[in-house]
Amino acid sequence: MSKQLTADDARQSLTGHVEAKGVEIYLKYGPVLGWEDLPRLLADRAYVRYPCEIVFDATPLLPGEFAHPMPKTEQPEDGFTMYVHPVFETQLDRVPALVLYQLVALNYGGFASAGDAETFGAGALGLTRDEYYDQLCELAGQLGTEDTPPAPEDNSGCTCGGGGCSGG
């Protein structure tokens, strides 16, 4: 008799998958994924499910949000615009970290968690999850949000960039 898969099994499977994909990106585009590498990564369907372009515009972003992908049409196959806060337009070397975090939402939708995004980005940049989380919080702090609490001991439920660093 075969075992019935649970939601927890699916969650663990996704977490393992995003970690593996992140490490693959590091091996292919690393050891330093820079601004000049980002267009190639965004065009690589092995890692970015749908076409995606970067636009520096805070208009569609929530307060404290550093980046967010938005579909161009009702059909995801038509592509996404990755809106990145314009404060980072003068820090292009930092933009890949922001975009990597949001690529998990673009690729996996609402099923992916903030922890999955941290795992993916950390793997792609060759960092520990804590190092990546700290980097995201530093970047989110540049947006001037006053409601950013300190990172908890276990940041597995935190969402940097979706409104600062807050428990999720």
pTM: 0.82
Q: Which of 9-13, 24-28, 67-71 has the lowest mean pLDDT?
A: 9-13
Q: Checking DSSP bridges between strand 52-56 and strand 80-84, what pairing results, if any?
A: parallel
* pLDDT per position as a tens digit, 31-45: 999 999 999 999 999
Q: Residue 21: exposed, middle, or buried by beta-carbon count in 10 A (0-12, 13-18, 19+)?
A: buried
Q: Give 80's strand partners.
A: 52, 71
* pLDDT per position as a tens digit, 141-160: 999 754 443 443 344 334 44
Query: Where residue 109 falls among pLDDT bands split at 50, 70, 90?
Result: confident
Task: At 156, list the tokens.
Answer: 């597995």
Supply the DSSP symbol for 65: B
- Strands (E) in 24-155, as ranges, are 52-56, 67-71, 80-84
